[in-house]
Amino acid sequence: MEMNPQQIQDRAREFQERIVPQIDEARRNLVDMNHRMVSFIRANPGTCLVGAVALGFLIGKIASRR
Amino acid sequence: MTTFQNSQSNGTHGSDDQGFGQRVDQIGSEAQHLWSNARSAVSDLGQTLDLKGRVERNPYGMMAAAIGVGYVLGGGLFTPLTGRILKLGVRLAMLPFVKDELMGMAEAALQGYQAGQSTMGGQSGVSGQGGAAGMGTSPRTGGPGNIS
């Protein structure tokens, strides 16, 4: 199965056209999630700080048991 | 006789009640004073630390710092996981320097390759132009052209 350069180029373009929208959507989702997380942290700073300390405490406990 | 005793005892009880009440009032005022001092100390500490402002400015950093504080409080400081995290941090911190070094080496290699290509192209171009005339005179000029 040999492919000439034109076929390889077409395949690459097709792959790009299929993948690029998915990457764009994933990027948009990540940006949206980041905005939501930052706004939640800013709205509830005490809760988030206490939760983060508790999470770190749990990680430290688990790490010290090993 | 009894009347005197009674009056005397009544007077003593009255002064005791008065002293007790004064003490209760004093303790209450001292407790209020202590409470107000504690509240002002807590508010001063809060203003000094400015946790809300810090979270507002750098939410992820503050979360990471809080996780770090919890990690230390949980006893995870002197563990192998800390060593691994530190090693990873050092490697990540060294990454930009290594990247710059590699980029410099790659650029130098590319420039050398391009210079070699241009030199070879020039030599083969010379041999190609004077191919008919120079074939017999200098057999080595055709050498690099054949190799490329």
Instruction: Retrieve residue B134's tokens.
Output: 């120079």
| Residue B92 C-alpha from the chain's centroid | 13
Residues 6+ apart with CB under 8 A from A63: B71, B74, B76, B79, B80, B81, B82
Q: Where are the domains of chain B?
A: 50-115
Q: Which of A48, A52, A64 sits opposite B74 (nearest CB)?
A: A64
* ipTM for this prediction: 0.78
Task: Give the chain A residue whose CA is nearest to the CA of B73.
Answer: A57
The CA–CA distances, whole Å, from B142 to A22, B113, B119, B127 equal 54, 21, 14, 6
Contacts of A45 in chain B (CB under 8 A): 51-52, 55-56, 62
The model carries a pTM of 0.58
pLDDT by 10s per residue, chain B, length 148: 444 444 444 445 556 677 888 999 999 999 999 999 999 998 898 888 888 899 999 999 999 999 999 999 999 999 999 999 999 999 999 999 999 999 999 999 999 988 888 887 766 554 444 444 444 444 444 444 444 3
